[in-house]
Each structure stands twice: as C-alpha cells, then as structure tokens.
Structure 1
Amino acid sequence: MVPTDVPAVHELERRLFPVDAWPLQMFVDELAQTETRRYLVAESGGTIIGYAGLMCIEPIADVQTIAVVPEEEGRGIGSALLTELIRESRRRHAADVLLEVRADNPRAQQLYRRFGFEQIHVRPRYYRDGVDALIMRLVLGAPEDPQEAGRP
C-alpha cells in the first residue's frame, strides 16, 4: 500500500466495515510508521479488491486489518494477504502473530484456523455494535529454513 492507495482503501473500508470503519487519517498515519508497520493491497485490473496491515513490535506482530471485497471472496486473496503478513512477521522476528476477529464472522475464523491460529481470549462487546472479538494467536516459533519461507 502506498499513500495514493489510501482513498480507495478508505472507501472499501467504509463499505466493508460501516460500523467500525477506520478514518482516512488512520490509514495515512499507519503508512507513515514504516519501522513497525506493513500494509498491502490486492489488485485486479488496476482496482483494489483487498488490503491488509500488520504492526510488529518485537516479539509480537498484530494483524491490524485484513479485508477482501465480497465479490472476490473464495479466490485465495485473503489467504495470499495473510501469507504475506505472516512472512513479514517472520522477517521482523516476531514470535507470535495476534489478531482480533468478530465472533459473528465464521468465514474469517475458518481462514485463520487453517493458518494455525488458535483462539486465546474473548473481548466482550469489543465492536461498536456490541459483537465480541475473538483474540487469536499464531505461534511462529523458531525462524524458518529459508527454503520453507513460502509456506504459512
């Protein structure tokens, strides 16, 4: 993600997360923190169809956001974004990757479980509409063999 992507990403954010959408300035601020942040976009035909972001302050990486437009779900875009966030976590020497997911979003929970994330906690009424957040963690452990770096 580069600064010129922010307006399109923000529009997607408002569409996909109407209750909890980040303000535009938050994306600008996040992109400016290159020492601890990494943000990505997925594009099709020059149009942004997904995005994801990571904060890593050793030894913990935290998935800040991940989203794919509904009409593109099921095509591996979310998996590709998550794979890259996990790679980035390893590059930044994180021991664990954490994320929050809505308790009423089984599709996302299933994706995270496929990658080895396990639920470790619940934050009651975390989201503005009162839905709980499930806290999930992926233990990265020892750094990977460079030949294994392409695997989640």
Structure 2
Amino acid sequence: WQDCITLFLQTGMCCDAAIITNSPPWLLASYPEGNLFQLTQEEIQILLAREGREKLFLQGITLAGTKCLLIRDNLYTEGNNTMDLRTKGQSRGSQAVTVVQIESVYLVVMGQKGTEGGPLNLKAFEMAGYIKEAIH
C-alpha cells in the first residue's frame, strides 16, 4: 500500500495521502511527512460509517485533528464511491480532500493548496481504477 501512496504523491496534485480500512489496523499506509498518519480509529469509523451519514453534512468531520466540511458524499453510491471534503478554519487557506473506496480499503488524499476538489476527485478516482486493476 505504501507504493500507492508514493505514486499518488508523485502526481504533484496532492500533499498528503493515506489508505484506511473499516477494521483493525484501520490505517494501512500513509505519507510520513503528512498529517493523515495521525488519523484515529474514531475518525475513521465516523468517516466510513454507513448509518447516519446525513449528520456529517451538518456537523462536519475531523480527519487527523483537522475539521473538514462535507461537500459531496457518494462514498457508498455504486459506480462513484467517492466523497469530497474541504478543510476549514486554517489560516493558510482550505484544502480539498477526497476519499475513494477501492473494494475493502479507502484512499484518502489531500490536495495541494490551490487544487480544486473536482480535479482531485477525478485523479483519485483514476488512481483507484489502477489500484483495482493491480489487485485483480
């Protein structure tokens, strides 16, 4: 999984990435110089819960201690399986975050400052396709 993280960061669009799952060990791989390696079990469980997802729009979500606004939630929509968030309340400006489901694991990527959510989502979805092909 660490190779996937390295590959994704080489696109130049991302500044951080992690691969998570909804059961222990929760965090499978992450960028050691980023923040997502600090994702907690509780944050991951809230992010990936299938029940009560509508409250994420109201309350937002915390990832590695950073508050995020939920922009679009298609994580459990067949054929899409992505989720778009944006960090908030940071003096250095907000950043786009995309989560994409790849079978039983999830890729979480944070865009560089200035990277919009749409292109980040497309790149994450594209990378998920490559990873799916590599698995099979």
TM-score, length-scaled by structure 2: 0.31
- Which of the pair has the greater relative contact order for Cα pairs under 8 Å at 6+ separation? 2
